[in-house]
Amino acid sequence: MSSRLDDQRGFDHGVFIPLKLMYPAADIPCVQLSLVSSLDAATHLAIGRALQALDYNNLLVIGSGFSFHNMRAFFAPDTAEMRARNDAFEAWLEETCTDVELSEAERASRLVAWERAPHARFCHPREEHLLSLHVCYGLANRASQTNVSATILGKKAGMFYWKV
């Protein structure tokens, strides 16, 4: 897999917004990684695994994405069926990312095959906002120590934290 520097491109909102909130003085060095255009889940796990070789003190990797990203559903009338679909995918994702009983091979396999999760394509018609989680898991290669659930625009969304 090859990479290249694009110093003409500005930061994506997935980088800009979290860092603006966390570091409003913009006083930290920052590198933005782009998704691979194939949007292949296994490739994004491999990117995370490759990042394990970085040897920096105080390195912060932010996988800015969203565990629910169906724009039509955000603005559609709320229904019990929609909530059930959202809840089923969130429960699957939480179990996949946090269950210490899962082996890392099984966890990785589930993340690679995320489209088979209950209502995966309802929650993610396109996967761009989910794949940053794959990179973060690939870097950590273990269950998430902490997860938080929030309701955003009426939809349940999970956030996961790995300290490496």
Q: What is the per-residue pLDDT across 117-141, written as a single tens digit (0 to 9) for each? A: 999 999 999 999 999 999 999 999 9
What pLDDT, in 10s, does the model give residues 54-96? Answer: 988 888 899 988 899 999 999 999 999 999 999 999 999 999 9
What's the whole-model pTM score? 0.91
With contact defined as beta carbons under 8 Å apart, do 157 and 71 qualify?
Answer: no
The angle subtended at Cα 39 by Cα 6 and Cα 147, nearest 5°, is 100
Share of residues in the chain with pLDDT > 70 (%)? 99
**What is the C-alpha to C-alpha distance for residues 140 and 135, in angstroms, rounded to an integer?**
9
Coil, strand or helix: which one is 83?
helix
Token readout for 114 is: 């995320």
Q: Is 32 a residue whose pLDDT tops 70?
A: yes
3-14 average pLDDT score:
82
**What is the C-alpha to C-alpha distance for residues 115 and 96, in angstroms, rounded to an integer?**
13
* pLDDT (0 to 100) of residue 97: 98
Dihedrals phi, psi of 44, to nearest 5 degrees: -75, -30
Coil, strand or helix: which one is 160?
strand
Q: Is 3 a residue whose pLDDT tops 80?
A: no
With contact defined as beta carbons under 8 Å apart, do 44 and 134 qualify?
Answer: yes
With contact defined as beta carbons under 8 Å apart, do 161 and 145 qualify?
Answer: yes
- Model confidence at 1, pLDDT cuts 50, 70, 90, reads low
